[in-house]
Amino acid sequence: MNPFRRLVKIAWTASRYRLDVLVDLKQLKNTDIPLRYQWLLRLSPIRLFPKGRYSRGKRLRLALETLGPVFIKFGQLLSTRRDLIPLDVADELARLQDHVPSFPTDVAIAIIEQALEQPIEEAFAHFDREPLASASVAQVHTAIRHDGSEVVVKVVRPDIQKVIREDMQVLRSLANLLVKISVEARRLHLREVLDDYEQTILAELDMRKEADNTAKLRLNFAGSPMLYVPKVHWDYCHTNILVLERIYGVQISDLAELKARGTNMKVLAERGVETFFTQVFVDNFFHADMHPGNIFVDVSDPESPRYIAVDCAIIGKLTKEDQDYLARNLLAFFNRDYAEVARLHLDSGWVPDGTDPIEFERVIRELCEPIFEKPLSEIEFSQFLVQLFKAASQFHMEIQPQLVLLQKTLLYIEGLGRELYPELDLWETAKPFMETWMAEHVGPAATFREFAARGPELLEQLPRLPALILNATGQIRHLERTVERQSASLKNLEERVGKLSHRGRVRRYAGAALIVAATILLWGPISQSLEAAQDLTNLAGLVSAVLGSWLLVRA
């Protein structure tokens, strides 16, 4: 399907399910969308279609399912943002987590047999034809190996990569349009975000990468009371197949079952926050797709519940600079040090040079103070982030694409934590963790540890230090001479360009003067030729001279 036909299908699906009613036309006036596009939506032929009997949430879910995996992933993200979308819509979109229509089991078996190069009966002692779950890019079947161990077999949907690339091409076209008409779209770096999203979703199709991510996350939390990650059966893994240990637990979204098992919801919610910060700031390797369909709970000990994470296809990492920036920002917010928040934003380059730091600090203070007047347990970090970005947009703060996964994951975690334990105090749980991290990674103690860790290297290089200094001095002098030569060449070039420009102006003025002089000198003979109406040679000659001169001047 070419991009145009795909775009037509998207428009048709949006019309069929009347998705236009999800947009509040009254609020369009407060956006930077040009008036012509607002009227285009108001007068859209879509409004001629009947709304139908489905609820708005179901219409949105069915439309996303019809459009495929890229759009299903978007719906999964929306389903966790109950602080931003209506609850009825969020409940319906939650069905996208693992209730996506499955593909035929015979197709799945054929894919498995081709990858393993053996019949399904030889590969497994038992293979369940009924899918355990069906998601946007793959579906899962349970099986039993010949050694008796229970496993799950994840099979990538056929031809899914082609569909994803086509959808991303269409989304890029839409993003290009939005960037042209909307300042907000440019500030959000939609193109860069889409590039990151495409890399992320295509990475989900390689089961070997997911196997590697799963094994590493399992190693990071080996023996941890907070998180369990299933074992990878490497001998069965291929590009389009992943075989993992089968786990048993309660899905995180099944609150009724968790409560019926006597689960300590406070401990569970706090461990979710601790797990997130451990992955981000200790391991720098975090599960970035922690929607409810991917998280289960081991309640064998209800007072000490443990998370079970599956689907490790999307993993996030940060640079040391990003880690340091985020840690300092979070602590500054916790300590209500708004001057530090403003300085960090300016130093990181997130807001343009020339921004008034005092004014920026004032805006952040006005935003934060009303929030901190509430009890800490009532402060929602996700809402705070949304308001912060909205306030900072007036200073043209740019969203950093490399941090989109982190922001999404943090919002997932808080959204889940609030559902489990509404009194969850994210700040109280996170602050001691961040203070400990800062003490270990920033300041004199961290500097001393760095020196101690690199002591052998420094001692090894110490005898070479004089030579290194002399070499560095020589290189600096060479660099200075090179810069001087380049500066002289640049000055030379500027002078030559100036002379050429001056000569061009002189030639244009001279040409114009000659044209005027020729016109004056030949005006008499031309007048006589016109009166005689016979010999027009003089007139033709003048016209040719004028046109030729004009073309030369233009050249």
Q: Which residue, chain included where needed, has tokens 């001692």?
A: 459
What separation in angstroms does the CA of 417 have from each of 307, 384, 405? 12, 16, 18
Across 75-79, 133-137, 254-258, least confident range: 75-79
**In this predicted structure, what is the pLDDT of residue 555?**
52
Q: Which residue, chain included where needed, has tokens 């799963």?
A: 214
What separation in angstroms does the CA of 439 have from each of 324, 328, 345, 366? 12, 11, 21, 30
> Which of 188, 234, 228 is CA-nearest to residue 212?
234
**In this predicted structure, what is the pLDDT of residue 470?**
66
- How many beta carbons lie within 10 A of that of residue 80, not counting itself? 26
149 pLDDT higher than 90: yes
Across 31-40, 133-142, 143-152, least confident range: 31-40
- How many beta carbons lie within 10 A of that of residue 548, not counting itself? 11
**In this predicted structure, what is the pLDDT of residue 307?**
95
Q: What is the pTM of this model?
A: 0.66
Q: What number is the average pLDDT over the span 441-469?
A: 65
**In this predicted structure, what is the pLDDT of residue 257?**
94
Q: What number is the average pLDDT over the span 286-314?
A: 89
- Let me know if 417 is exposed, middle or buried by CB neighbors in 10 A (0-12, 13-18, 19+): buried
What are the DSSP calls for 291-345, one per residue? Answer: -GGGEEEE-SSTTS-EEEE-----EE---HHHHHHHHHHHHHHHTT-HHHHHHHH
Cβ atoms of 263 and 297 within 8 Å: the answer is yes
Length of the chain: 555
Residue 322 or residue 207, greater confidence? 207
233 pLDDT higher than 90: yes
| DSSP three-state, residue 102 | coil
Residue 331 or residue 547, greater confidence? 331
CATH H-level, domain 105-158+204-260: superfamily: Phosphorylase Kinase; domain 1 (3.30.200.20)
Across 124-133, 179-188, 194-203, 204-213, least confident range: 179-188
| Positive/negative CA dihedral, 74, 76, 81, 82 | positive
**pLDDT cut 90: percent of the chain above it:** 22
* Chain CA centroid to CA 509, Å: 56
Would you name the residues annotated as active-site residues?
A: 289
Per the DSSP assignment, residues forming a β-bridge with 228 are 308
Q: What number is the average pLDDT over the span 172-195?
A: 71
**In this predicted structure, what is the pLDDT of residue 154?**
96
Residue 247 or residue 191, greater confidence? 247
Residue 316 or residue 546, greater confidence? 316
Per the DSSP assignment, residues forming a β-bridge with 231 are none
Q: What number is the average pLDDT over the span 92-96?
A: 79
> Which of 235, 234, 194 is CA-nearest to residue 210?
234
**In this predicted structure, what is the pLDDT of residue 27?**
59
What are the DSSP calls for 457-497, one per residue? Answer: HHHHHGGGHHHHHHHHHHHHHHHHHHHHHHHHHHHHHHHHH
Tell me the C-alpha distance between 341 and 195, whole Å: 29
Q: What is the mean pLDDT of the chain?
A: 78
Q: Which long-range contacts (CB under 8 A, 24 or more apart) does 129-136 make?
A: 129/105, 130/105, 131/102, 131/105, 133/98, 133/293, 134/98, 134/99, 134/100, 134/101, 134/102, 134/103, 135/97, 135/98, 135/100, 135/293, 135/311, 136/68, 136/69, 136/72, 136/73, 136/76, 136/96, 136/100
Give the confidence band of 160 by pLDDT, cuts at 50, 70, 90.
Answer: confident
Tell me the C-alpha distance between 222 and 224, whole Å: 6
246 pLDDT higher than 90: yes
| DSSP three-state, residue 23 | coil
Q: Which residue, chain included where needed, has tokens 């999203």?
A: 197
Tell me the C-alpha distance between 412 and 342, whole Å: 26
> Which of 388, 381, 374 is CA-nearest to residue 427?
381
> Would you list the domain boundaries of the chain?
3-96, 105-158+204-260, 320-453, 465-554
Tell me the C-alpha distance between 139 and 241, whole Å: 10
Cβ atoms of 242 and 313 within 8 Å: the answer is no
Tell me the C-alpha distance between 271 and 286, whole Å: 15
Cβ atoms of 381 and 426 within 8 Å: the answer is yes
Q: What number is the average pLDDT over the span 249-271?
A: 92
Cβ atoms of 356 and 343 within 8 Å: the answer is no
Tell me the C-alpha distance between 271 and 258, whole Å: 15
Give the confidence band of 432 by pLDDT, cuts at 50, 70, 90.
Answer: confident
